Structure 1
Amino acid sequence: MDSTRWRSTHALALSAIAVGGILTATMPGTATAAPSGPDVSSWQHLDGRFIDWFAVRRSGHDFAMVKATEGLNYVNPYFIQDSLLMRAAGVARGTYHYAQPSLPPQSQAALYAATVLGQNGPLDLPPVLDMENAGGLDPARLINWTRRYLETIELLTGRTPIIYTNPNFWKTAMANTDEFVHYPLWIADYRGNDQPEVPGGWPTWTFWQTTDRGKVPGIAGGTDVNVYSGAQGDFARYAHISGLLGSS
């Protein structure tokens, strides 16, 4: 998700097969491309430039995930700017916290919750925990850390959080635990397959980060691109939208 995120040795641009293969029925007898969107951090603000969220929306993207916080002392300096402009453009907003498990989970959850100021308004997707750093913890302690963070953020925001990870991290650092299958999964898998690898006993994925080298109008340079599977039901309801995304 940023310069520290996992990079697959087989990272590929989003293939036409993957795009065409992920369809969701949104109206009787009608199938349209699944809701899609980038995820961004300060790295997408090259030279301090704004992201043109209106261009992002015009290009067909329904949502975006924005890095809010990391650890105990980092707040994305562009978070408020992006949040306001996304809402103005009608782009549904997801926000994420990059976990630093060497630091207390409850305090990190409190920083995140205070920064995002709620995830229950119009155009808000649930909160996300970005799990790709073990912080020196063994699997048992990392699983415990994750449980405590998720329970705290659910209490603070009132929504069931999403877990972001990649198959290799989950199978090794998290010992491929199936303890968290009741949380929606956002999986990073850049191999260009029709479907991503789903670890940890999850029956399916909710969001799939298909590439970290996407090109999205309105965003300078490369960016991650994601799709929504429909696993949590109608996207408009999941993102607290009322008729803003058309047939999405």
Structure 2
Amino acid sequence: MSVASVAASIARRICDVEDVGYSQPDRRTWYSEADWEGHVKSPQNADCSSLVCGAVNYGLHDALGVPWGHKALLEIDDFWTGNMREGLEARGFQEVPWEDTNLYPDGGFQTGDVVLSVASEGGKKHVVIITDAANDLLSEAWIAEDGSDDGVLGDQTGVETRTVSYSSHPYTRSGAWTSCHRFNRDRFLAQWPEFAKKTPAPNPTPAPAPATPSMPAHAHGIDVSSYQEGIDIAGLWADFVIVKCTEGDGYTNPCMGAQAQATLSSGKRLGLYHFARPGDVSDQVRYFLAAAKPYLGRATLWLDWEDDAPAQGPGWALAWLDAVAAATGTTPGIYMNGSTVNDYDWAAVAARYPLWYADPTNYNTTYIGYIDPTVPSLRFWGQPLVHQYSQRGRLAGYGGALDFNRLRDRSVWDRMRTAGSVSPSTPAAPAALVVDGEYGPATLRRLWEVMGAVGYPEVFAVANLRRYLNKAVPAHSQRMLTGADRLPEDRGWDAQLFRVFQYWAWCWVRPVSSSWSTFAPGWSFGEFIDGEAGPATWAALQEALNRSKTASFRLM
């Protein structure tokens, strides 16, 4: 965790998740109403400078312990683009040299960099923050719904606050950026020495370990076919795109090559799917792999199991998945809807292959921009890897409706397209779960055992977990986390349950866990307790289950 990573995470959340619009007169409302993790419970507003100042303040607070209200924070009412350079430089930021010809700093951007466009220096009175340097993304408060600087509360267009590509931003193309500024911890501590004792330098390590991002593991994306012919994939906000490749043993999407190449060329994750039809499974495997060959190793592979395919039974689907896995050395996945999940026995498939699930709950609801919906808990799989939650999504840059999908874990996706296994390891004994951060059959089986629900649907085990947490976590703590004194005890996994469990795990698992530094290295309270089912949460559950007694109805 660092000032830069927290600032970027907060800015990305405000722009991509929260209902925050644009207004200069109401620029402070988001910051005044946001909770400890940046969540606002009602529509609010920001402008470009209040977004950046507020995000930096969260970083200083979470990473360096600067108290709210301290003068070391950027008071939003005191700073705007015209004087932000001075404010940043008085709080540890240094200007990073760059060539005015390309407007990229020496060595490239780093996540958390602040980029200014100052009128007195020839700019446009604007400021943004780089929120994903690896993918060239910035987040910004852009413009109100009517094109003015004073809109109504909330994001009315889906792009009043937004995350977009730096290289394609109009101010990059017009050369309007004037400077880049990067946080320097040592400089800040020299300016504000009272915080030095709270932030000792980390011990040196013999060799650098691979970086583990502190931002959430989930991602948002779309799926396309020939119905979206001509779509500008490079210009759309999407972390991943799943492209229709083939259907049956005689149809190839004529747009597949262009759509797949545009996805990869714009730095997005690529998936390819085969729409199954009744027929010979071997013929359809060969036909799909021949069409997908140029992208093997660069794309995840999926079986679309709907329409008249399910009547062939899970055995046909398993044969297709096994054949593709054997031929490519990768781990394919399967797409289906709720009735198909519930009408067949998918135990053998779920043990090896991830699920892309078409959720009927809000499937015909129109969303302007992505949301983070409640993820369902399903038979055999638990939570799906990819959750398709609407067929009526709308994104700036495309005039039609799009399927909106939420990916639970980027790292699992990346392992699917290579030789890495995504299947959960089977423990040698019930008390020895492999702590791999995945909610698979082994973890679910142990949850059933501990919560005394063997032989019952998963929701019974989860309901018993809710009852235990209601006893273990005080009402005032639950109120802080969810706004309610108790968890409902008649349902499965949802964001409220994840928050309360994460709080419990922070208090009880973190002090004894041997895997915490692997799945949540240096994470703050707010980074871990996010209400989302990522690998760190599942690893904490696995650690707790390994320390729990069978049929005890409690953890640890």
Q: Indicate whether the TM-score tops 0.5.
A: yes
Residues 191/80 of structure 1: CA separation in 2 closer, same or farther (3 Å cut): same
Cα distance in 1 between the residues matched to 2:213 and 2:221 = 25
Question: Contact 2:330/2:416 (CA < 8 Å) preserved in 1?
Answer: no
Cα distance in 1 between the residues matched to 2:316 and 2:412 = 31
Match of 1:64 in 2: 241
Residues 146/35 of structure 1: CA separation in 2 closer, same or farther (3 Å cut): same
User: Which deviations, in whole Å up to 9, do the C-alpha atoms of 1:55-86 show, x marking residues without a partner?
Assistant: 11xx2x11100000001111001001111211
User: Which deviations, in whole Å up to 9, do the C-alpha atoms of 1:140-193 show, x marking residues without a partner?
Assistant: x52221122112111222211111111112222xx2431211201111104146
Question: Contact 1:44/1:220 (CA < 8 Å) preserved in 2?
Answer: no
Equivalent position to 1:196, from 373, 376, 389: 376
Cα distance in 2 between the residues matched to 1:108 and 1:235 = 23
Per-residue deviation, 1:16: 7.1
Equivalent position to 1:125, from 299, 321, 326: 299
Are residue 211 (structure 1) and residue 390 (structure 2) matched? yes
Match of 2:353 in 1: 183
Q: Which has the higher contact order (CA 8 A, sep 6+)?
A: 1
Residues 16/74 of structure 1: CA separation in 2 closer, same or farther (3 Å cut): farther
Give the stretch that moved more between structures: 128-137 or 142-151: 128-137
Question: Contact 1:119/1:126 (CA < 8 Å) preserved in 2?
Answer: no
Give the stretch that moved more between structures: 125-134 or 64-73: 125-134
Per-residue deviation, 1:234: 5.8
Are residue 227 (structure 1) and residue 380 (structure 2) matched? no
Secondary structure of the residue aligned to 1:208 is strand
Per-residue deviation, 1:203: 3.2
Per-residue deviation, 1:28: 6.9
Residues 29/135 of structure 1: CA separation in 2 closer, same or farther (3 Å cut): closer
Residues 72/216 of structure 1: CA separation in 2 closer, same or farther (3 Å cut): same
Q: What amino acid is aligned across from residue 153 of structure 1 in structure 2?
A: V
Match of 2:322 in 1: 151
Cα distance in 2 between the residues matched to 1:216 and 1:120 = 28
Per-residue deviation, 1:214: 0.6
Residues 149/55 of structure 1: CA separation in 2 closer, same or farther (3 Å cut): same
Q: So what's the TM-score if we normalise by structure 2?
A: 0.34
Match of 2:178 in 1: none
Cα distance in 1 between the residues matched to 2:330 and 2:338 = 24
Residues 234/166 of structure 1: CA separation in 2 closer, same or farther (3 Å cut): closer
Q: What amino acid is aligned across from residue 210 of structure 1 in structure 2?
A: Y
Are residue 162 (structure 1) and residue 162 (structure 2) matched? no
Secondary structure of the residue aligned to 2:356 is strand
Q: Which has the larger radius of gyration?
A: 2
Match of 2:261 in 1: 84
Q: What amino acid is aligned across from residue 300 of structure 2 in structure 1?
A: P
Q: What amino acid is aligned across from residue 177 of structure 1 in structure 2?
A: W
Q: So what's the TM-score if we normalise by structure 1?
A: 0.72
Question: Contact 2:376/2:383 (CA < 8 Å) preserved in 1?
Answer: no
Residues 131/177 of structure 1: CA separation in 2 closer, same or farther (3 Å cut): same
Cα distance in 2 between the residues matched to 1:94 and 1:29 = 23
Per-residue deviation, 1:136: 7.7
Per-residue deviation, 1:215: 1.1
Cα distance in 1 between the residues matched to 2:293 and 2:354 = 21
Runs of 5+ in structure 2 lacking a partner? 1-16, 20-38, 40-131, 133-210, 363-372, 419-556
Question: Contact 2:394/2:402 (CA < 8 Å) preserved in 1?
Answer: yes
Match of 1:35 in 2: 219
Q: What amino acid is aligned across from residue 73 of structure 1 in structure 2?
A: G
Sequence identity (%): 27
Secondary structure of the residue aligned to 1:126 is strand
Work out the number of aligned pairs and report it.
202
Q: What amino acid is aligned across from residue 88 of structure 1 in structure 2?
A: S
Cα distance in 2 between the residues matched to 1:82 and 1:28 = 30
Secondary structure of the residue aligned to 1:114 is helix
Per-residue deviation, 1:222: 0.5
Cα distance in 1 between the residues matched to 2:268 and 2:212 = 25
